[in-house]
Amino acid sequence: MANKKPNIEHIRHSLAHLLAMAVLEKWPKARLGVGPVIENGFYYDFLLPKNAKPGLEDLKELEQKMVKLIKQNLDFKGKRLSFVEAKKLFKDLNQDFKLELLADLKKYGTTDDSAINNQLSGAVSKGKANRQSPIAISVYQTGDFVDLCRGGHVKNTREINPKAFQLTKIAGAYWRGNEKNPMLIRFYGVAFETEKELKDYLKNLEEAEKRDHRKISKAQELFLLTEEVGPGLALWLPNGAVIRREIENFQIQEQIKLDYQHVYSPHIGQKSLWVKSGHWELYRDKMYSPMDVEGEEYLVKPMTCPMHIQSYKIHPRSYKELPLRIAEVAAVYRYEQSGELNGLLRVRAFTQDDAHIFCTPDQAVDEFLGVFRFIQKLYKTFGFSDYRVRAGFRSAKEKYLGQTKVWKEAEKKLAQALEQSGADFFIAKGEAAFYGPKADFLIKDALGREWQCGTVQIDFMLPERFDLRYIDRDGKEKVPVMIHRAPLGSLERFLAILIEHYAGAFPLWLAPVQAVVMPLGLKHLSFAKKVFQQLKDLEIRVELWDEDTISKRIRNAELKKIPYALVIGDKEVKAKAVAVRQRGKGDLGAIKIEKFVKQVQKEIEKKK
């Protein structure tokens, strides 16, 4: 009988333990944090001695130590200990972070911070919180090393290919993600079953680093993040603002065609608004602390739904007015821990292409499909063709608003809509919003990385909580269904994805600078200025570059990834033309100005 192929997750988890062993060999007084499996690899957190300043050379040394451990053919042995035994073990090992985790296991039955917070905030019903001590504590031993761990692992290190893993980087991470806790050192690694998989991944990773939106932004001056303003608070620079404005205008124009009505809502609102919606109870960890305004508590808004509800309530509604589609390009604010912030991908203040559709229950599926078609059009325009949909359903582990019967009806409508859409979708329990099931759109970029962007949510709960009604055909009052939708999600996050997808080479309609005019010499400057002004008058984003040598200017345009460079010399002045160099295609030769203008306008209009 052939040997069973080792589970890649078990390989990665085992490598995390081997990393801890290597770190303890190098720094015996290191305190162990946690070492989970993550996508493509693993990490482990450590509190190192004060004099330890790990660098890239240490990664190589630790890697070599791990290879030596692998070649020792060490067994991974699971054991079950009582709390008393486990406490004594980790106390003797001077591992206080493990003792803290043990204390949580004893008190809450889990070490998962979100589950503990749910218990502390009352999100788990009283009497149902798991505060019973487990029968035994699971630990795993490899050689002389013992770790608090549920498993699983390989049975022996001979199952790990020593050429198929690599330690990749070092970062800081607060213990348990709380900035009030000590800052630990996190060592990251990647691991695969074969050496080829590792090499392919590292090659892709190298390309991803070249595409890093923060690096490209610095070169193209798109946005700015500074400690002086505050972590996670992005400043849009003029070039980035152009891209954002084009995206916003495109969305608004398309939504107007679909009968959306656009509104503006304030950045703050009374706390009672979000208490009524359920956000204060079930979304509080993502909301900022209340501020006092003349004795009343106010919050900066984490989302717009309670405010758009007010727009619905301005007068009694009839079924004839439904569906009512209310949209806003809205600034919202959500608390993210500093260790989770990541360029524009995760920020504390962001912009949502938000909208809420109020409709009858019979209209819900069609409205969802309408949103779905709109999202498809958007993604096609931006060059994303490969995506799938995650259907977020309720799970028994979390607390939600409303009754099971209502949830089943909402989930049924979501599934019905997804089936009719023909989308590639899968169901993920526990991924629902607290007020209803949702469909999240996961798109793949040019490197095959998957990103969550748009979302559509079916909500039977908030309309009832806010006493929304409409008069139906039979003359009776009924409760509308509310559909929450944000096709791109966070514009900040979507722009980060776009930057990396295009590697900074934006399509013409989005490019901050669409063309540069370059006279060869002083005698060509007068005509170049006329060309520049003609393009500017036609709202083509153009710049005039008349300094440095022509080769340097052309090179600079290539580095800045500007779509068109227009060179003007004697021949061009005489022919009233421009010598066109197109990004990615090179020299296209001389083209009459009128012809070039029509070509560019058509390309912008079609959003190629």
Catalytic residue selected from 149, 305, 359, 453: 305
CB 357 within 8 A of CB 482: yes
Catalytic residue selected from 356, 413, 524, 541: 356
Q: How many CB atoms lie within 10 A of CB 68?
A: 13
- CA angle, corner 64, sides to 61 and 68, nearest 5? 140
- Provide DSSP, 208-236: HHHT-HHHHHHHHT-EE--TTT-TT-PEE
Query: Quick one: tokens of 507?
Result: 């399509």
Query: Quick one: tokens of 211?
Result: 């595409």
Catalytic annotation present for 356? yes
- Give 124's DSSP letter: S
Amino acid (1-letter code) at residue 392:
G
CA 79/CA 146 separation, integer angstroms: 10
Catalytic residue selected from 95, 251, 352, 457: 352
CA 538/CA 494 separation, integer angstroms: 29
- CB crowding 234-267: b at 16 or more within 10 Å, else e: bebeebbebbbebbeebbeeebeeeebeebebee
Catalytic residue selected from 147, 354, 440, 445: 354
Q: Strands 324-333, 425-429: parallel, antiparallel or unpaired by DSSP?
A: unpaired
- CA angle, corner 555, sides to 563 and 205, nearest 5? 75
CB 450 within 8 A of CB 384: no
Catalytic annotation present for 354? yes
* Burial group, residue 48, by CB count within 10 angstroms (0-12, 13-18, 19+): middle
Contact residues for 222 (Cβ-Cβ < 8 A; gap 6+): 216, 236, 237, 239, 240, 243, 495, 499, 512
Place of tokens 């999202």: 375
Q: Strands 324-333, 261-262: parallel, antiparallel or unpaired by DSSP?
A: parallel
Give the DSSP H or E segment for 103: helix 96-108
Catalytic annotation present for 438? yes
Catalytic annotation present for 523? no
Catalytic annotation present for 484? yes
Q: Find the radius of gyration of the CA atoms of the chain.
A: 29
Give the DSSP H or E segment for 452: strand 450-459
For the chain, how many residues are written? Answer: 608
Q: Strands 387-393, 438-444: parallel, antiparallel or unpaired by DSSP?
A: antiparallel
Place of tokens 């919050």: 299
CA 509/CA 494 separation, integer angstroms: 16
Contact residues for 124 (Cβ-Cβ < 8 A; gap 6+): 115, 118, 399
Q: How many CB atoms lie within 10 A of CB 108?
A: 21
Catalytic residue selected from 211, 244, 438, 493: 438
Catalytic residue selected from 10, 334, 493, 561: 334
Catalytic residue selected from 317, 348, 394, 484: 484
Residues with catalytic function:
305, 334, 352, 354, 356, 438, 484
